[in-house]
A and B are shown apart, each in its own frame.
Chain A
Amino acid sequence: AQSVTQLDSQVPVFEEAPVELRCNYSSSVSVYLFWYVQYPNQGLQLLLKYLSGSTLVKGINGFEAEFNKSQTSFHLRKPSVHISDTAEYFCAVTFSGGYQKVTFGIGTKLQVIP
């Protein structure tokens, strides 16, 4: 079965510390991978995406993610977080072949502590 898993529902981290938000997927076909951010009372905004090519993808607001095919992972990282990064982060996957529907993970709430 094809699925996406975000292992951490909440991640507290001190300001200026590094953070990693984990995302794993299960698929027998090729995938396209996305990270979205949702600030309180707002819609989702694309942070970054992996379609093909370099496995290290850089996004907005200093975030980056690395596609690891052998580990079936697409973890999101930032070397130094800011208070304004407090939000919920969603990993999303599209499974290629046939109709391509996006499947979202349950989200990880990042809480940056001053």
Chain B
Amino acid sequence: EAGVAQSPRYKIIEKRQSVAFWCNPISGHATLYWYQQILGQGPKLLIQFQNNGVVDDSQLPKDRFSAERLKGVDSTLKIQPAKLEDSAVYLCASSLGQVGKTEAFFGQGTRLTVV
């Protein structure tokens, strides 16, 4: 079974520029998550989708971050404009059901460096 696909793997941008990340979850997985992992910290949930609806975006900085999940499959996460503190690895994950009990499968992540 194919895993969670993310692109790009690496991105370097200047502050105030825009960037977008793409995620293709495992086929059939209804739940999709975007996590931000800053160096030295654990992953922090940014947004959770159930199919194409948002379940939790309480920790998403909505003034600069946005995410969408078209047709309940692929998802994009956008940052506009980027700040230095946005430098992190952005992980996408998916699961069959609600993550409380079911395993989440993670992609390899996108490492963003803002200079």
Task: Tell which of A13-21, A36-44, A62-70, A72-80 binds the partner.
Answer: A36-44
Interface size class of A (residues with CB under 8 A): 20 to 34
Interface size class of B (residues with CB under 8 A): 20 to 34
Chain A interfacial positions (CB closer than 8 Å to B): 6, 9, 32, 36, 41-46, 49, 51, 90, 92, 94, 96, 99-102, 104-107
Given contacts A94-B101, A101-B48, A105-B42, 9 further A-B contacts (CB under 8 A): A41-B108, A43-B93, A43-B107, A44-B43, A46-B105, A101-B45, A102-B45, A102-B100, A107-B41
Question: B34 on the interface (CB 8 Å rule)?
Answer: no
In the complex formed, the residue of A with least CB distance to B109 is A43
Chain B interfacial positions (CB closer than 8 Å to A): 4, 40-45, 48, 55-56, 91, 93, 98-101, 103-109
Q: Is the CB of B104 within 8 A of A100?
A: no
Question: CA separation between A6 and B42, bound complex, in Å?
Answer: 10
| Chain A positions within 8 Å of B101 at CB level | 32, 51, 94, 100
